[in-house]
Amino acid sequence: AQSVAQPEDQVNVAEGNPLTVKCTYSVSGNPYLFWYVQYPNRGLQFLLKYITGDNLVKGSYGFEAEFNKSQTSFHLKKPSALVSDSALYFCAVRGLGTNAGKSTFGDGTTLTVKP
Amino acid sequence: NAGVMQNPRHLVRRRGQEARLRCSPMKGHSHVYWYRQLPEEGLKFMVYLQKENIIDESGMPKERFSAEFPKEGPSILRIQQVVRGDSAAYFCASSPPGQRYDTQYFGPGTRLTVL
């Protein structure tokens, strides 16, 4: 079975400071990892993904994520947070075989960026 | 290129009625996925469909829920005899043919309220 953990329900940062939203995963074989952002009463917007290759993945809106195989982590980062980054962030994993079609999501982390 | 379309955006039903949720995938996408988001929770996989085929329905409740993706027209998630516990946001996602690990693009969701 595949699973994702987002250990922090909430992350608070000041505008201009770096931010990190944590994600760890469990999956058989090579993982396919994704980050999505959800604004209130909206659907999920794709930010970035890791399939293979460089461990540092760059995505939309200045976000990046670092894949760490030994720690089974895929933390989302941004060097300088904006107030408009305040939203709900989801990490997701897709595996192989019978789990290939479905994404398993973490419970989400609410990011609040204060001016 | 229009994104994933879902309708209705909001649906109110009384207990015992039927709910029909529709999803039109992005142009050129032939894989459709349904997810449910309960209040204060992450997304839970329900079903994965391709045209005229159910590929993985491991997340679907055994009773009252069904899904289809006909050769023509949108994908339909049908909930018979709704109960209050069915109140949730239902999201549809689509991905292009060929790669089962491609990014899933999400629609805005249908928010179902059961009175």
Is residue A97's pLDDT more than 70? Answer: no
Report CB contact under 8 Å: A45, B107.
Answer: no
Q: What is the mean pLDDT of chain B?
A: 92
Give A4-40 pLDDT, tens digit per residue: 999 999 999 999 999 999 999 998 888 889 999 999 8
The alpha-carbon gap from B42 to the nearest alpha carbon of chain A, in Å, equals 4
What per-residue confidence (pLDDT) applies to B101?
Answer: 64
Pick the range with the lowest mean pLDDT from A44-48, A51-55, A69-73, B72-76.
A51-55
A24 sits in which H/E element: strand A24-26
Is residue A94's pLDDT more than 80? Answer: yes
Q: What are phi and psi of A99, to 5 degrees?
A: -95, 5
CB contact, 8 Å: B69 with chain A? no
Residue of B91, B100, B107 with shortest CB distance to A101: B100
For residue B100, the 8-state DSSP code is T
